[in-house]
Chain A
Amino acid sequence: MHGWNWTGFFEYLTNGYLFQGALVTLGLTVASITLGLVLGFVIALLRMSPLKPLRWFAHFYIWLFRGTPVLVQLIIIYTGLPQIGIRFTVLESTLIGLVMNEAAYLAEIIRSGINAVPRGQSNAARAIGMKDWQIMRYIVAPQATRIIIPPLGNSVNGCLKTTSIASVISMEELLRRTQVLIQEKFMVLELFVVAALYYLIMTTAWDFVQRRIERRFGRGFDISAGH
């Protein structure tokens, strides 16, 4: 036992190597959510398609990725697939795993958002001659977005933390870099607390951003948020 080391703690709090790791975590989150939204939107549309095989495919996809741990998915992609000749770099594996996993969750969120927009809205848009894609683009999507933001915010928060799982395939994000430093310096508690603080700062900053976005999209639905 060698107690808590304040000097070490503050040193690591401003450590450039860790800070860069946090930036990687942030980058992974932004990429996973952005690409996950695109893929999730496509899967949500497939899930609502009039064609049965497309619906089944979407259903299967969501079932598969929501029913298995990201950790297992990442290990299969990075460590397992080379066995049958499919090789991805660490970054590629991480992104593939996180994006496909996020897409499965986001698809369900997007679908329920779209379904929550009253049918009368698309009828009214159709009645002024809008095409299907225009109804989606100008009428349904903006209203669905407002409904989707709170659960989407949870997903972003979750994703920030889930990226840490990529440390097991040696993705150089925040947790991995923390562990690397621990192996050199043995300040286990100090370093993990620093890592936890970094995560806390990022999730708190996101909360703040989310509230701003909610206000922006709440216009027209709540009189007090009108202008």
Chain B
Amino acid sequence: MTPLISLKGVDKWYGPGFQVLRGCSLDVARGEVVVVCGPSGSGKSTLIKCVNGLEPVQGGSIAIEAAEVTDPKTDMTKLRARVGMVFQHFELFPHMSVLDNLCIGPQKVMGRPRAEAEAKAMALLERVGLAAHAAKFPIQLSGGQQQRVAIARALAMDPVAMLFDEPTSALDPEMINEVLDVMVELAREGMTMIVVTHEMGFARRVADRVVFMDGGEVIEDSPKDDFFGAPKSPRAVEFLSKILQH
């Protein structure tokens, strides 16, 4: 079966002197959940930004559902509309109500009528437990609530896959679980997900595979149990021992 998302030997430079990704390869099958971890600056955020073309790459290839992200002929706006993305700092649109945050994509990008977009948005808000907050502005919500709205906003586009970049690392500890719970539920429903996170509890519960990055390289790509049971690389061992202390 061809993978839903496939990266082959991806190289990326920021400017001529600094190579941030070195020959990264990664396949994600439909319905798979892949957790990406690694030290700060290892290139995790860059990697997932490349997946939906927010950052261009200089070498290798990236494909989503057989559409080449790296092919200049690909309609990137169409492709991005099909891949949901959740950011560390939520990035809700502050000048719009929660409801409008969820409707703007379906209305302006997919051309759906307002009534249809609203009905779908309300259903999604219900699902993340925030239907009562539809009319509020993002600033009136807590961090955990904002991140759940951000997840709902991405889901409003009916994505084939979801990318998460440290979705809980900007949150107060007591709000982390409400966001992880939404993500666990999504994973169990069969959503294809790439999740950059250091929440190893989350990885243990729902990841199929764990990818460990360091220095712009994919050092290890193992089934979850292998990764936690017997990590192959010394760098992964060291990394795990550090973050599991907390």
Binding site for B on A (CB under 8 A): 120-121, 123-131, 134, 138-139, 142-143, 146, 217, 219-223, 226
Contact = CB atoms under 8 A, between A and B. Distances in A.
A125 B52 CA distance: 13
A226 B109 contact: no
Contacts of A142: 95
Contacts of A143: 94-95
B65 to A, nearest CB: 15
B78 interface: yes
Given A120-B89, A121-B91, A139-B93, A129 B137 contact: no
A222 B54 CA distance: 30
Contact of B108 (A123, A138, A221): A138
Nearest to B78: A129
Given A221-B139, A223-B139, A226-B140, A129 B93 contact: no
A129 B139 contact: no
B81 interface: yes
B95 A128 contact: no
Contacts of B137: 219-220, 226
B242 to A, nearest CB: 28
Given A120-B87, A220-B139, A221-B139, A128 B153 contact: yes
Interface in B73-116: 77-85, 87, 89, 91-97, 104-105, 108-110
Contacts of B89: 120
Nearest to A141: B95
Nearest to B110: A129
B138 interface: yes
Contacts of A126: 54, 80
